[in-house]
Chain A
Amino acid sequence: MAGENCLRFSPPDGTTRAHILFLPPLFDEGNRLRRTLVLTMRALAGLGIESHLPDLPGQNDSAVATSAVTLDDWRGAVVQFAAQMPRPFITAAWRGGTLIDDAATGAVGHWRMAPVAGASILKTMVRTRIASEREAGRTLGAQDVRALAKQHGHVELAGNRLSLTMFDGLEQAHIADVEPLRIVTAADMTGSALWLRAEPGEDAGMANIMARDLADWAVQCAAG
């Protein structure tokens, strides 16, 4: 999307074998994994792979308010990111990023780590709101949270202001079938689910193994 930042790491001129569009986890999970994703991008450049990590509107450093975006906006942004990618490219998506990676028209392959349903992402955020209400001595149920979103047009969840459209969009979001596709777990990459960490951490070893795995898959997909 116009005006969004995109972090890019390129190999030395003339050595690029393939390109990867990174689609990180959504909301807090993206913050927790970001450091390790950037380590992965640096390692990829050393392997001859150029990678791009754009901000989705309303995420990371975006100037757009989170409350102003919908899941369809994110899909539209991915269409635009994909149109700007050098060819050939694959997508690499983590967690909630896998809900929108199928919008990357022109990708010659896809790579996913730990896909998660939109409903699960939303549920954790709703639970966080319920927990903070409970600490304040107020009782709120999951249904009440959606009612609040409906009443005000948006609702504050775990530090994110989500519109009703985004709320419902996440509730229904599913992971699309794409191919060719490689799916991995954190354990496959000798790492752990860093996006769950209560205190953010990083894992350079996991980043190096992810980079090698991504590079191999990107080159294989690029060769058709």
Chain B
Amino acid sequence: MTDDRKMVEETVRSTLVDMLGLSAARVAEFDGATPLFGAIPELDSMAVATLLTELEDRLGITIDDDDVDIEAFESFGGLVAFAARKALG
């Protein structure tokens, strides 16, 4: 994994820690297959709105809402891949 990709992944982790009120240790155990949207009750479509804006602010990116597919949020790996695509091209 490149440093840039690792930075994106760590940003996604820290944002989830803040949003879900989970411990950093617990979120550190998330892997690509860890289910998110649909599996974590707190992470509903309203929370996804917060998550998108927070990722924009923390990663310095702009996300076009038309480009958001909720399937990208179904697993931790999907979310990191989505954020990395936006941040790193």
DSSP majority for the B interface? Answer: helix
In the assembled complex, which residues on chain A have CB atoms less than 8 Å from the CB atom of B53? 120, 123-124, 127
Q: A127, B17: Cβ atoms under 8 Å? A: no
Q: With contacts A116-B57, A198-B44 known, is A131 near B49, CB below 8 A?
A: yes
Asked if B18 contacts A128 (CB within 8 A), the reply is no
With CB as the reference atom, state the residue of chain A lying closest to B70.
Answer: A134
- A129-151 Cβ-contact flags toward B at 8 Å (1 or 0): 01110110000011000000000
Contact residues, A20-42 vs B (CB, 8 A): none
The answer to whether A120 and B21 touch across the interface, beta carbons within 8 angstroms, is no
Query: Number of B residues whose C-beta is below 8 Å from A?
Result: 22
Q: Is A153 an interface residue (CB 8 A)?
A: no
Known contacts A120-B56, A124-B53, A196-B19; is-contact A141 B65 (Cβ 8 Å): yes
Interface residue SS majority, chain A: helix
Report which of A116, A120, A142, A198 forms a contact with B65, defined as CB distance below 8 A.
A142
Which residues of chain B are within 8 angstroms of A131 by Cβ–Cβ distance? 45-46, 48-49
A192 on the interface (CB 8 Å rule)?
yes
Are the C-beta atoms of B54 and A128 separated by less than 8 Å? no
Residues of A within 8 A of B (CB): 116, 120, 123-125, 127-128, 130-132, 134-135, 141-142, 158, 186, 192-194, 196-199, 201
